[in-house]
Amino acid sequence: MMMFFNKLYIKNLLDAYKRLREAGFDIGFVAPVLNVNNVTYYHFLKTLDLLSEYEALFEKAIFIRNWTKQAIWLDPQVARWIWERSLPLNETAEKFNYKNKEQIDVIPVRFSIQLILFEKSFLEFIGGMVSPGPKFLGDENPQETPQNNIKLPRLLVPFGDEESMNFFADIYMAGRFIALDSFAGHLAYAPQRFYMIEWFKNNKEKFVEDIRK
């Protein structure tokens, strides 16, 4: 996983979180607009007026859809195309800051937790992350300890950090939000990684060119 930040990303993300909290929302987490992400790529395209071009070249941009059916997750050419329109990072971040100033949207489906903002109190409230282990029915030699003495069918619980954050946010009605004026970059998903790492090596100077201005 390779993530790329800019000078406005964390400021705008924190500002969005504070506004939501002051407005009385229960918050699971707040995320920026990530360019290569199977939910927020839609907001990336919409903000930069690229929706029509993307849909003419690749497919209709529908994010309420299993990620394995989406070109943004599968196709390295899509990741490359997105990144060619993401650089320089600070200039792109300025566009998001200007066009989407203080705008927030709700995330309606499971979301990647590669780059999210949440409070320690939320983790404490949900009892931390849930991972498969001896507490599940069907495991061999379950260990009975005061912290691990509940037997649950495996299908009733999430299987890792990402599943936990989304599962408990939904269960406790704590919102998942996108700060639309906060932009950051994600290089690629697993099916795109080999190609995109090579692309990055050949284009890494472009990632810092606006910092040198």
For 50, the domain range is 3-200
Determine, yes or no, domain membership for 206: no
Mean pLDDT of 88-107: 97
Determine, yes or no, domain membership for 83: yes
Comparing 13-22, 41-50, 113-122, 143-152, the range with the smallest average pLDDT is 143-152
Q: Which residue has the higher pLDDT, 154 or 100?
A: 100
Determine, yes or no, domain membership for 80: yes
pLDDT of residue 188: 97
pLDDT of residue 160: 74
Comparing 36-50, 152-166, 195-209, the range with the smallest average pLDDT is 152-166
Whose CA is closest to 107, among 176, 179, 16, 31?
A: 176
pLDDT of residue 192: 97
pLDDT of residue 158: 52
Determine, yes or no, domain membership for 210: no
Determine, yes or no, domain membership for 174: yes
Q: Is a pLDDT exceeding 50 seen at residue 119?
A: yes
Q: Is a pLDDT exceeding 70 seen at residue 7?
A: yes
Determine, yes or no, domain membership for 48: yes
pLDDT of residue 150: 47
Q: Is a pLDDT exceeding 70 seen at residue 63?
A: yes
pLDDT of residue 149: 45
Determine, yes or no, domain membership for 205: no
Determine, yes or no, domain membership for 175: yes
Q: Determine contact, residues 30/17, Cβ cutoff 8 Å.
A: yes
pLDDT of residue 208: 81
126-170 confidence digits (pLDDT tens)? 888 776 544 444 444 444 444 444 444 544 555 678 888 998 999
Report the domain count for the chain.
1
Q: Which residue has the higher pLDDT, 107 or 126?
A: 107
